[in-house]
Structure 1
Amino acid sequence: MRAMILAAGRGKRMRPLTDHTPKPLLKVGQRPLIDWHLQNLSSAGFRQIVVNHAWLGDQIRAHLGDGGNWNLKIHHSAEEQALETAGGIARALPWLGDKPFLVINGDVWTDWPASEALVHAKALQGSSSHQAHLVMVPNPPQHPKGDFLLRDGLVQDPASPLSATTRDEPAYTFSGIGIYKPDLFDGVPADKPVALGPLLRKAMQSGQILGSLYAGQWHDIGTKERLEKLDRALRCSG
């Protein structure tokens, strides 16, 4: 199974830190964010990884090299203009193969075991009616209303659920971790910015998106304050 780390974002909310350092190379626990993902993937048995980059991409390429430091083979998918999530994935499809693949946002930190992706990928491969599996997490303080419903293993859009009322039903936050079939990106241009959200919501309307809830550690590193808080916590934990 192959995986992709999304590392092309500008990180505007993290300025001035990201004016000279790409967001995935910001450090927590004395290690760049992206290193944590690479170690997780390598430990789970992944060997072929795609990393996309745009802003200060040369720094990411120089830091990662060919992936040998993590026992990985890394393909660099360079984007002159950041193509957003779906566009970036579409551009990388030639290197991701024809089977379900894992995608992880480069600007999150989590102890989610990447080995779980292998199980979800096997389920997707054996299903003709599902296109993706999203890992959901409890809502963090900065995103209290969440993103999507999780009903009987299906991820649904609260604005247009498959069944009736959503009153008092909690929504959860999409972690930025997903396993996708290549077919989900049919028709997505590989040279234009395309967001992932609308693509997922459309597939949700016909029950094509599976999901599961992960209750372990997960942090969206969206501000300098959250970066510093996580860094302190990881240093204290050793």
Structure 2
Amino acid sequence: MHAMILAAGRGERMRPLTDDRPKPMLCAGGRPLIDWHLTALARAGVTRVVVNVAWQGARLREYLGDGGAWGLEVTISDEGDSALETGGGIRRALPLLGEAPFWVVNGDVWTDFDPAMLPREPAGDGHIVLVDNPGHHPEGDFGLRDGRAVEAPPRLTFAGIGTYRPGLFRGHDDGAFRLAPLLRNASAAGRLGATHHRGAWWDVGTPERLKALDEWLSRRRGA
């Protein structure tokens, strides 16, 4: 199984913490965020992980190496000076991900969700993980009906984790674009599965949320 970690964003809301490093290399619980993802993916049986880079990409390259420290093969998808956003980054990396469905996780989240719970063969174009709405996103993104993501309330929040078929992206031009419209189109067509994860999940989008996560992990570790 192949997977991708989205790690190319500039992290404007995290400044000044991201002035000299990419957001997935910020630490929580004594480890870079990306280290948590790589460890979980390796445990779930992933063999190759593609990591897209742009801002401070050299720092990530140096840290990741060939992935051997995690028992993985890590390949870099370099987007140059300007990140291609979530959809464009995945679209650019398709030649590295192969023809089979693959897992994707946002590099700036933390979760105890086990990637092995994701389907390796989604019934439609993809399958996403939904979580309870955090305080900073109370309106949510998708409803959940009979294992499918739907455009109806009550809505849950997209966790930035999913399984996708390459065909979901191939109809789009190469360039910068967001993943969300593709997911909404798949949902409207009844081709987007979903799972509700009721465990821990953090969107590490601001210095305050990073600090809160770090403190939570420290308490959990000391319990």
The reply to whether TM is greater than 0.5 is yes
Residue-by-residue CA offset, 1:11-47 (whole Å, 9 max, x unaligned): 0000010111110000001100000000001111111
Aligned residue identity for 2:120: A
CA RMSD in angstroms, aligned pairs only: 1.0
Aligned residue identity for 2:84: L
SS in structure 2 at match of 1:174? strand
Q: How does 1:191-210 map to 2 (within 5 A)?
A: 192-210=175-193
Partner of 1:7: 7
Partner of 2:139: 145
Give the Cα separation in 1 of the matches to 2:151 and 2:50.
29
Q: CA deviation at 1:235?
A: 1.4
Give the Cα separation in 2 of the matches to 1:185 and 1:229.
35
Corresponding residue pairs, total: 220
Aligned residue identity for 1:155: A
Partner of 2:66: 66
TM-score, length basis structure 2: 0.96
SS in structure 2 at match of 1:121? coil
SS in structure 1 at match of 2:138? coil
Percent of aligned positions that are identical: 52
Q: Which runs of 5+ in 2 are unaligned?
A: none
Residue-by-residue CA offset, 1:63-122 (whole Å, 9 max, x unaligned): 0010000000000001012001111101110111111100000000001001112xx123
Q: How does 1:84-123 map to 2 (within 5 A)?
A: 84-117=85-118, 120-122=119-121
Q: CA deviation at 1:234?
A: 1.0
Runs of 4+ in 1 over 3 A off after TM superposition: none
Q: How does 1:147-226 map to 2 (within 5 A)?
A: 147-158=141-152, 169-190=153-174, 192-226=175-209
SS in structure 2 at match of 1:93? helix
Q: CA deviation at 1:157?
A: 2.1
Give the Cα separation in 2 of the matches to 1:53 and 1:137.
26
SS in structure 1 at match of 2:19? helix
Partner of 2:40: 40
SS in structure 2 at match of 1:89? helix
Structure 1 residue 82 corresponds to structure 2 residue 65: no
SS in structure 2 at match of 1:115? helix
Give the Cα separation in 2 of the matches to 1:88 and 1:21.
19
CA contact (8 A) 1:50 1:77 kept: yes
Aligned residue identity for 1:174: F
Residue-by-residue CA offset, 1:169-221 (whole Å, 9 max, x unaligned): 4100000001000111122233x101111111112111010101000000000
Which moved further from structure 2: 101-110 or 77-86? 77-86
Aligned residue identity for 2:177: V
Give the Cα separation in 2 of the matches to 1:189 and 1:63.
31
Give the Cα separation in 2 of the matches to 1:40 and 1:212.
18
Aligned residue identity for 2:69: N
Give the Cα separation in 2 of the matches to 1:200 and 1:112.
20
Q: Which runs of 5+ in 1 are unaligned?
A: 159-168
SS in structure 2 at match of 1:3? strand
Give the Cα separation in 2 of the matches to 1:221 and 1:54.
19
Partner of 1:165: none
SS in structure 2 at match of 1:20? coil
Give the Cα separation in 1 of the matches to 2:138 and 2:84.
28
SS in structure 2 at match of 1:75? strand
